[in-house]
Structure formats: structure tokens, C-alpha cells
Amino acid sequence: MKKKQTTTPAAPNSLELQAQTQLNAGKYKEAIGLYKKLLKISDHNEWHKKLAYCYVQRATALAAQGMFKEALVLWENHRQHTHAPYAAYDQYIIWLILSKNKARIQENIQQLSAQQLDKEYPALAAVLGLLILTEHPEFALDLPQDSMFIAHLQQVKMALQAYQDNNREKLDEALKQLPYRSAFKDFRTVLNALITLPESIDQARVLLAKIPDNSAYSNFAHLLLVSTFDGAELAKNLVKLSPTQRHIISHMKGFNKTQLEFLAHLTRQYEHLSDKVKFNMAIQYQSLCGTEFAKNYCQQLLVNYSAGHKIFKKNFGAVDEFENNRLHALACERQGNSYDAEHYWRLCIKELIGQHLEENNLKIALILRHLSKREEPAEKTELLIESLQYDAEDRDIYLQILQHYQQAEATKDYKLWLSKALKKFPQDIDILIQAVREATRNKTYKKASQYATKILKIDPLNTFAKQTLFASHLAHAYRLMREKSYPLVAKEIALAEALNIGKFYVKQTQLMRALLCFAHEDKEQGLQLISDALANLYTDPVNRHFHASMAALSAGLPVATILRVLPPAKDYLLTESEFTQFIQLLKQFINEADNSQIHKALEKVKAPLKKALTRQDFTESTLLHLCKLLEKLEHFELLRHCAKTAFAKWQKPIWMYYRVYADNNGKPEDCTKIELLSLEHYHEQAMLAKDFQTGIMLEKLIDRYYQVHPQKGMNFFDDLFGINDDDDDNEEGDKLDILFGHLSDEVVMKLDETVESLSKKTSIEQVAIELIQSVGEESVMLAIMQEPDLFSALMVVKAADKLGINIDVSLEDVLECYGVGKNIGSSSFPFPF
């Protein structure tokens, strides 16, 4: 039970403050009560104004909720506290119309002046115009007949009549009479859109889009716009309309009974369009879209709606298994599920094979090639080879297989497939080029020339074939010169010249003629000619010396005599372009000459080459190119120099590959444990970076190491303490024994496991860098390189640190034992990694 409160009348000041607060907060109901109280205390003009304002606000809010009668009462209350012109009078009239109070509507409309209708209430005028044209033509009689509104209404009526009579001229005339400032301006725009529709739907849509959302004609414009749509866009809009609106537009579109049923069905289900609903609708209304179309669509849906199989079979017969699997495979691919996609593609192949149809072979081959796209090189090639069983006519597949075997350096397989490709496509230039390259690699120049000649028969302008023939003529000329068959040398030079393939080649034949002159005619003149020819070919002395050495060695001429007439090369610093030219020359000789000759020629220029590598800032690709050639040539001295320079700049897997390969003179089986760990670490990095080519190269080195050093127990400690080592007098083993010999077998086992796992995650470089940063001792890296077991010892301490085992050996003990960082103070420092 509420306790009766004893209230004392609030002071006007306090009440006014409360009323203002409620008004400011938009709480008009409360504010109305308070202002009414205030007015009982005193008839203050300001409070009347504020009360009137609150009434209008509250009325508007109620009208927005559809409470028009309540809104009308409040608006009329407001009128008692203020004077004309009244706020929201136009809205008041609309509320009257919406509350269908005919007498009051008429009374108020009659009170509207021409000024109010034409100037003060344009929105009300637009609404009245719309209502006069549709539900309430009688309103026109109560409006001021001398107003512009009534004049414009007559023009609109004329326009509508003209539209009905299909009289375009009269319609245009009537619309022209309507000025921009008219209650019917939006209606005029809609009518213009209607006229435009037969000529241009797009232009009509632009006009309809001009009708603002708050226009009395916005709904009408939207309905007309919807009627211009088709298909899914039409359906999407129709389902949102009222049944009457939908009915009218459907009939304007000319939909038949079944289409109307489909539309009604779609409207009911539109918000819940599951695969099941779509499946059933496609079957139910298949007469509208055709049985074949409905069947294809439903079969597609079966991928996600397997429960539909039975209904599908009943309506369309058995499901096409191949198509079913194909759709499943494509769906899996869309979801990124390549594993299941492959399963379904394999089922497709099985189905196609089972049908025993010749035409299926191409499909099988294409599916296998499709599957090959996401495989790694070896598996990809297997699938491509398998695909050739079903479609052997695809030369691109042969080229892809050849490319794979070439990259994988699988010489035997490459030769086998090159021979198959040549047999299958004897006139294919790309395959003949492969044959030329292979013959050149094998230094079977006669064969290379034969293939090149064949290419030139098919394509007389083929530069590659001409270059090959040129090289072949020159190689033959050198051999003839060695045999002192000088007249034949001249003949070969003439044949090379006849190929006419550019200035650089002309210069090479000039050198050849100079060598011939030196060997057969006049030594002094020959030397001068050689010097001139080389000066024509190269701007720098290094390339001249190298080419001269190679030429002399190939022709069986005295190298020293020829080099003496050339400018000295020893102290020359090559530029990047000259260095690149050297690499090109080296590549050419590797293809054409014996490796032993190239080694001899390189001896003459290795000093300036090393100088250039050390001092110049060559690009990574330049160095990589050189390393590939030096690896092929097995010139480990220069390769070592190049790889070391490159690794200092770019700590990438490929450079670690070249470093270890060169440091061990191409015998990775001789590499140290640390180098092995580095190879394994960088192999992992290459695979993570998807650099499979480098990954395979590193893997080959690692495999070669393990072929010679079987893993046995592969326990870190076994190696560390030489358990598997026959050499018991190993001094390094002694150091490790001094440091860790006191540990129990149990501790050793635990440390062993941890060191193994840490070694996979940590490279030597990392350890060294962290140690250098921590102890400030630059010699750590060098010490590790010199004494590989130092790294092992550091890893043991790290493992103990990680496991929290006290092994009584600190980082300082290890460094001290190996004589590193003797300048480090006695204070302990934290393990850096």
C-alpha cells in the first residue's frame, strides 16, 4: 500500500526548471504536465509557447506510431496556446485524412488559401495532388479554385488523358505546361520516365531514380522501376511488395498461371531458400524452365543435398555417375579440399575407363593433367606421363616432362623422353631446340649441327639454329687447325661467315682468321691481327686474355706468346657489364670446349676475377649465374670465392648450398657436422619458402653425406664423445670429455634428445651472432668454424639450460676450454639464446 505523501506545492522557479529539463530531454508528455501546472500558478506567455511546442512534438511522435486520433487531439490542444500560423498544420491535415474524418478534412481543406497551397505547404500540396488523382478527386472542389495548384491539376489530367489515348504530342504539350515549382513536379518526372521506357529502359530508370525518398510519388516510382526488372532482380523486389502491388506488376509482365504460382511459392520461401527448397522448386516447376535444365540444376544440387537422390531418380532417372563425381570434385576444389577433389576425379577416370569409349581418352588425359597441376615436380611428371597413355599427341606435355627431367638433372630420363619426343614430333622446332641443346651439352657437335640444319629447313631465320651451326663450324675449324689442315680451316671460317648472324659473330671469325694467319702465314702479322680482333670483341683486358687463352688452347697454339701482345689483365677491375660479358663467354666455352682447357684459361684470369668479386657490388643474379657455371665446371676455387662473397650479403639457402659444395671441393660427404647441420637447417628454410629447386639441391648434398656416413644411432652424444669413432686419440673428444665426462648416462640421454631437437631449429650462424651480441667476442664464429665441436658443446649447455638441469658447466667454461673470449671478465653472463 502506497504511503500517502504530504506534498508542499513546488515553487514556480523549481517547476519551470523541471519542465525545461524534461523538454530538453524530449520527454514531452512529462513536460506538458509540468507546464500545465505552471500555467495554473501564473498565466505566463512563455509557458504557453513551450506547452504548445510540447503538444506538437508529442502529436508528431504519436502520428508516427499510427495513433492519428491521439495526434489530432494533441495538435488541437496546441492551437489553444498559440496563434496562426500553426506549426505542422500540413501534417495535421494529413493526420485528418489518415483518420478518415471526412467532415473535418473538408472543413480544413476549405480553409487552405491559395498562398498556403502554392507556397507554404508544397509537401501537403503534393500529397493532395496524389490523392485527388487517385482516391479523393472530391478534394479538388474544396480547394481554392484560383490557385496554381488547380491550374496544374488540369494540365496533369490532360497529360493522363493523352497517355491513355496514346497521343504523344498532346502528352508532351501538357507536361511542358507544368512548371518546375509545381505540386506535380515528381509526377511529371514519372510520366516522362513512362514515355521514355519503350525507347530506353536505362534512361527511364535514371529518371525514376530522381524521385526523392520523401516524395509522395516515391512508391509509385519504385513500383514502376520494379516493373522494368527481369529474372532474379525482379523476383528479389517483387517478394518485398504487398500482394496487390505484386499482383499488378505480375499482370503487367504477363505471367501465366504457373508462373504466378511459382512467384507465390518463391515469396513464401524467399527468406529460407535451402538447397532442398531450391531442389523441390526446380522439380515442381520444371515445365517453366524445361526438364533438361531442371535435371542439370538438380544434379548440381545433389553435391550438397544428397537426400535428393531418390526424388531425382523418380523424376529424371538414374544419376549420371561421372557427372555426379565431376560436380563433387569441382565442389571440393572450390572449398580448397584438393585431397577429396582428387578422390572424385579418380572416380571420374574409373567411370570413363569403364565406359570403353574412344572419346573418353582425351577426358582422362585432361583430368590427369589437371591433377598434375597441384603436385610437386616428381609426382606431377608421373601424372603427365600417365596422361600420355590416353592422349599422346600433346607436345606441350612432352616439353613439360623434358623440362622436369632437365631441372632434376635426371639425364637418363631426359634422354629417353627427348628421343620419344623427337620420334613423335620430328618437325617441332621447340623439341629440335631441346635436341640441339642436349647434343651441345654432350659436346656431340655433329649431331647438334644436324638438328640445327633441320630447324633452319623449317625456319630459315631461326637465330638459335644459326648460332649452333656457327659454333659447330668454329669448333671444327679449331680442330682442323690443331691438325694443321689449314686450307680446310679457311673453308670452315667461310661457312661460318656465310651464316651472317651479326657483328659479334663477324668479330669472332676475324679472330679465327687472325689465328690462322699466326699459325700458317705470318707470326708477327698474326699476333697483331689477334690483338686487333680481341680489342674489337672486348673493351677490357680480362675477357681478351680469357678468350685468347681458350682460342690458343683450342687451336693448339702457344698461349704465352699470344698473351704477351695483349694489355696486362692482372690488376684490372672489371665493371658489372664486363663481368657479365665474361660470364656469357664462360657459358659459351662450357658448351663448346673441354673443361680442362677452360680450367687452364681461367688460371690466367682468376686474380682479376677474385678482385672483381671482392671489390665490386655485383647483383645476386649475376653471382648466381656465375656459381651455376663454376659448379658445372667444377672450378671450386672460384666457386668458393664467389659463394663466400654472396653468403656474406645474402644468407639464403642457395648460398649455403654453394658454400658447402665449394668448401668440400664438390664432395659433400667430406663436410663437417656443423656444415651438415647448416645444410639441414637451410634445406628446411628452402622448403618452407617453397624454393623446391634449392631444396632438392640441398637434399642431394645431405643424402650424399649420409650415404657415406650412415646414421647409425645418430645420437648427438655418440658423435660428441666418439662412441662411433674409431679414433680414440681425438683431441676434440678430450675437450668434450673434460667438459661433460662427469655426466650420468641418464642426464646424457635427456640432453641428447634436447640437443637433437634444438639443432634442427638453430643454425650455427644464429648461435654465433647471439654469442657475439652477448659477449662482444667477434672470434666466436671463427672458433666454431675452426673447432666444430665448440658448437656441439654450446648446444649441450643450451640444452641443459632449457631442461633446467645443473651440469656444473657454464658458457664461460666452454669458451675457456676452447680458448675463446679470454678477455671476458669472470662475471657470469646469461646464456644468449
Partner 1 sequence: MGSVMSTAYEVLNVSTTANDAEIKQAYLQQVKDNPPDRDQEKFQLIHGAYSAIKDHKSRVSYALFTPPAVNFDTVIEHMLQTEHAVNFSAEFINQLLQASIDDTTLLNATATSKK
Whole-number Å distance between alpha carbons of 217 and 189? 10
Q: Grid coordinates standing for 812?
A: 664461460
Is residue 126 a contact partner of residue 186, using CB atoms and an 8 Å limit?
Answer: yes
Comparing CB distances to partner 1, the nearer of 282 and 385 is: 282
Window 355 to 414, contacts with partner 1 (CB under 8 A)? 362-363, 366-367, 370, 394
Q: How far is the CB of 118 from partner 1 (least distance, A)?
A: 14
Decide if 534 contacts 547 (C-beta within 8 A). Answer: yes
Q: Which of 91, 147, 440, 510 binds partner 1 (CB under 8 A)?
A: 91
Helices (H) and strands (E) in the chain, counts: 49, 0
* Residue nearer to partner 1 on the CB measure, 75 or 518: 75
What is the smallest separation between the CB atom of 432 and partner 1, expressed in angstroms?
A: 23
Asked if 425 interacts with partner 1 (CB under 8 A), we say: no
**Of 308 and 668, CB closest to partner 1:** 308
Contacting residue, 10, 39, 67, 98, with partner 1 by CB under 8 A: 98
Smallest gap from residue 349 Cβ to partner 1 (A): 11
Helix H, strand E, coil C: the string for 147-177 is CHHHHHHHHHHHHHHHHHCCCHHHHHHHHHH
Closest CB 294 distance from partner 1, rounded Å: 8
Distance of CA 517 to the CA centre of its chain: 61
Q: Which amino acid is at 214?
A: N
Q: Which residue type does 810 have?
A: S
> What is the Cα–Cα distance from 8 to 17, expressed in whole angstroms?
17
82 binds partner 1 (CB under 8 A): no
Say if residues 397 and 387 touch (Cβ distance below 8 Å).
yes
Least Å from the CB of residue 230 to partner 1: 7
**Least distance from C-beta 200 to partner 1, angstroms?**
14
336 binds partner 1 (CB under 8 A): no
Of positions 108, 167, 177, 259, contacts partner 1 by CB under 8 A: 259
Residue of 31, 96, 127, 790 that binds partner 1 (CB under 8 A): 127
Question: Could you say whether residue 290 binds partner 1 (CB under 8 A)?
Answer: yes
Alpha carbons 452 and 755: distance in angstroms, whole number? 58
Q: Which is nearer to partner 1, 390 or 636 (CB)?
A: 390
Choice from 31, 126, 775, 790 touching partner 1 (CB under 8 A): 126
The alpha carbons of the chain give a radius of gyration, in whole angstroms, of 48
Examine residue 327 and tell whether it contacts partner 1 (CB under 8 A).
yes
Minimum Å gap between C-beta 781 and partner 1 is 54
- Is 347 among the residues that bind partner 1 (CB under 8 A)? no
Residues 541-560 that bind partner 1 (CB under 8 A): none
Burial class, 518, CB count within 10 angstroms (exposed 0-12 / middle 13-18 / buried 19+): buried
Residue whose CB is less far from partner 1, 68 or 538: 68
Could you tell me which residues come within 8 angstroms of residue 654 by beta carbon, excluding any fewer than 6 positions away?
A: 624, 686, 691, 694, 697
Based on CB atoms, which residue is closest to partner 1, 396 or 459? Answer: 396
CA atoms lying within 13 Å on the CB side of residue 575: 5
- How far apart, in Å, are the Cα atoms of 165 and each of 158, 159, 162, 169, 248? 10, 10, 5, 11, 21
Instruction: Identify the residue among 263, 559, 612, 642 touching partner 1 (CB under 8 A).
Output: 263
The nearest distance, CB 217 to partner 1, in angstroms, is 7
* 161-200: contacts with partner 1 (CB under 8 A): 163-164, 194, 197-198
Q: Answer for the pair 496, 473: CB distance below 8 angstroms, yes or no.
A: yes
CA gap 358, 352 in Å, rounded: 10
Q: What's the first-to-final CA gap in the chain, in angstroms? A: 77
**Residue of 180, 218, 221, 214 lying closest to 197 (CA atoms):** 221
* Closest distance to partner 1 from the beta carbon of 193 (Å): 10
Closer CB to partner 1, 279 or 618, in the complex:
279
From 290-298, 313-321, 381-389, 466-474, span contacting partner 1 (CB under 8 A)? 290-298
The single residue among 28, 35, 75, 262 that binds partner 1, judged by CB under 8 A, is 262
Answer whether 648's CB lies under 8 Å from 656's CB: no
Cα separation of 97 and 113, whole Å? 18
**Window contacting partner 1 (CB under 8 A); options: 84-92, 420-428, 563-571, 809-817:** 84-92
Instruction: Quote the cell numbers at residue 479.
Output: 680442330
Contact 419, 450 (CB under 8 A): no
Question: Which of these, 395, 443, 404, lies nearest to 423 by C-alpha position?
Answer: 395
Shortest CB 158 distance to partner 1, Å: 13
Do 758 and 795 contact (CB within 8 A), yes or no?
yes
For 728-759, b/e burial (b = at least 16 CB within 10 A) is eeeebbebbeebbeebeeebbebbbebbeebb
Does residue 85 have a cis bond before it (omega within 30 degrees)?
A: yes
Task: Map the footprint of partner 1 across residues 761-780, applying CB under 8 A.
Answer: none
Please check whether residue 456 is in contact with residue 469, taking contact to mean a CB–CB distance below 8 angstroms.
Answer: yes
Shortest distance, CB of residue 145 to partner 1, whole angstroms? 23
- Minimum distance between the CB of residue 443 and partner 1, rounded to whole angstroms? 39
CB atoms within 10 A of CB 449: 21
85 or 487: whose CB is closer to partner 1?
Answer: 85
Residue 207 sits in the site that holds partner 1 (CB under 8 A): no
Residue ranges in 214-253 that form contacts with partner 1 under rule CB under 8 A: 214-220, 222-224, 227-228, 230-232, 234-236, 242, 244-245, 248-249, 251-253
In 3D space, the residue among 692, 694, 659 whose CA is nearest the CA of residue 674 turns out to be 659
Helical residues (DSSP H) of 178-290, grouped into ranges: 185-196, 201-209, 218-227, 231-238, 243-253, 257-269, 275-284, 286-289
Quick check: 496 binds partner 1 (CB under 8 A)? no
Three-state DSSP class for residue 604:
helix
Task: Read off the amino acid at residue 289.
Answer: C
Using CB under 8 A as the binding rule, whether residue 671 contacts partner 1 is answered as: no
- Contact stretch for partner 1 (CB under 8 A) within 131-139, 424-432, 580-588, 811-819: 131-139
Q: Is 289 in the site for partner 1 (CB under 8 A)?
A: yes
**Of 71 and 475, which has the nearer Cβ to partner 1?**
71
Nearer to partner 1, 123 or 150 (CB): 123
Nearer to partner 1, 254 or 710 (CB): 254
Candidates 19-27, 158-166, 603-611, 805-813; binding stretch for partner 1 (CB under 8 A):
158-166
Nearer to partner 1, 52 or 796 (CB): 52
Q: How far apart are CA 679 and CA 699, in angstroms?
A: 8
Report, in Å, the least distance between residue 19 CB and partner 1: 21
As a whole number of angstroms, the distance between CA 686 and CA 653 comes to 6
Residues between 292 and 311 with contacts to partner 1, criterion CB under 8 A: 293, 296-297, 300
Q: Are 791 and 764 in contact (CB under 8 A)?
A: yes
The distance of closest approach from Cβ of residue 156 to partner 1 in the complex, given in angstroms and rounded to an integer, is 11
- Which range binds partner 1 by CB under 8 A, 1-9, 59-67, 552-560, 606-614? 59-67
In the complex, the smallest distance separating the C-beta of residue 60 from partner 1, rounded to whole angstroms, is 8
Looking at 33, 122, 666, 788, which residue binds partner 1 (CB under 8 A)? 122
User: Applying CB under 8 A, which of residues 105, 281, 399, 743 lies at the interface with partner 1?
Assistant: 281
DSSP, res 298:
H
Query: What is the closest distance, in whole angstroms, from the C-beta atom of residue 371 to partner 1 in the complex?
Result: 11
